[in-house]
């Protein structure tokens, strides 16, 4: 499913801060995001691996033939 969206908040507890979703629809439902170990993520969507080193405050949006990566200071506000 495309596009693939990612955004990184500051790390908290035992999470790395990444939130990823596929598709154009975002939901505020409590169960919209599910925790995924990075090894499983690499099997599910290997194209994400190249973005995981981005620090908190960064976002990306990718689809076949399209890539956008940008800094969003708003992600750092608590």
13-55 pLDDT tens trace: 988 999 999 888 888 888 888 888 888 888 889 999 999 999 9
Backbone angles phi and psi of 26, in degrees to 5 = -110, 145
Is residue 72 assigned to a domain?
Answer: no
Is residue 51 assigned to a domain?
Answer: yes
How many independent structural domains does the chain possess? 1
The secondary element (H helix, E strand) that includes residue 41 is helix 38-44
- 45 by DSSP, 3-state: which? coil
Is residue 40 assigned to a domain?
Answer: yes
The pTM (predicted TM-score) of the whole model is 0.87
Identify the domain containing residue 48 by its residue range.
35-62
Closest residue by Cα to residue 2 from 65, 49, 56: 65
Q: Write the pLDDT tens digit of every residue in 50-75.
A: 999 999 999 999 999 999 999 999 99
Question: What CA–CA distance (Å, rounded) separates 17 from 1?
Answer: 22
């Amino acid at each position: 499913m495309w596009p693939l969206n990612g955004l990184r908040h500051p790390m908290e507890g035992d999470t790395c801060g990444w939130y990823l979703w596929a598709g154009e629809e975002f939901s505020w439902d409590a169960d919209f995001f599910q925790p995924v170990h990075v090894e499983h993520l690499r099997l599910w969507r290997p194209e994400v691996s190249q973005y995981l080193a981005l620090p908190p405050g960064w976002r990306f949006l990718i689809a076949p033939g399209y890539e956008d990566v940008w800094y969003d200071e708003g992600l750092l506000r608590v």
